[in-house]
A and B are shown apart, each in its own frame.
Chain A
Amino acid sequence: MMDDQIVRITSRLVAPFIQLYGIYIILHGHLSPGGGFSGGAIFGASLVLIALSFNLEAGIKQISHQTASVLESGGALGFALTGLVAIAFGGNYLANRSAGFPLGEAGQFFSSGAILVITVFVGIKVASTITTLFYNIIEKEEPLGNHKQTD
């Protein structure tokens, strides 16, 4: 889209670090500021940055429109299923300790039971939602699923 060498090289250098930072924020959401939404937004921003600074094909090579849509629905489904697992174990919907999820020592990485799982699902959902939003704006008007032929 924008054929600028400085933008391309800078975003190629910076994008892995943005993605690492996003994953870090998602995984440490129960210990430090941030969480699924913040980390997912940062991760999705890096995917959009690649698609905007190179071209749409480079972004689709990272994550295709269909994959993003499936991940978007899958994140919400995983969130709901985590809540239902708590019901199956005899707690309320989205219950954590009363449903028997193991809680480790406070302050450790595995110290939150189901919260870590839920945060990861929220992160996947938010990151793929932002990517899908960008693809929907930037793509030409064609029905979903025609990208396989253009690849």
Chain B
Amino acid sequence: MTDILNILLLLFLIVCAVAVAHIRDLLSAVILFSAFGLIMAIIWQQLGAPDIAMVEAALGTGVAALLLIAAISKTKRAE
């Protein structure tokens, strides 16, 4: 059961990573990157590293996305 969950999470992770590289809209790319970080946090938890999962959820999902949104609001949204 957990194996199926892990495989699904990894597949979704790969889809997110490829989509971040391919999408043209920068705000959508930031949101996809945030989703990537969230899935990565769950995978860290599954791998038995809860403190890394907490840091990933706070920094990779929250702060990194907020800083990138701040950078977009300073510049243009289109690539």
Contacts and interface: CB of A to CB of B under 8 A. Distances in A.
Interface string A14-55: 000000000001000000011101100110110011001000
B54 A42 contact: yes
A1 interface: yes
Contacts of A1: 73
Contacts of B69: 52
Contact of A133 (B58, B67, B73): B67
Task: Tell me if B's interface is mostly helix, strand, loop or mixed.
Answer: helix
Interface of B: 50-51, 54-55, 58-59, 62-63, 66-67, 69-71, 73-74
15 contacts: A25-B54, A33-B51, A33-B54, A34-B50, A34-B51, A34-B54, A37-B55, A41-B58, A42-B58, A44-B63, A45-B66, A48-B67, A49-B66, A52-B69, A138-B73
Nearest to B69: A52
Given A52-B69, A138-B70, A45 B51 contact: no
Contacts, number: 48
Task: Tell me if A's interface is mostly helix, strand, loop or mixed.
Answer: helix
A52 B74 CA distance: 13
A130 interface: yes
Nearest to B73: A1
Given A52-B69, A137-B74, 7 more contacts: A33-B51, A41-B55, A42-B54, A45-B59, A48-B66, A133-B67, A134-B70
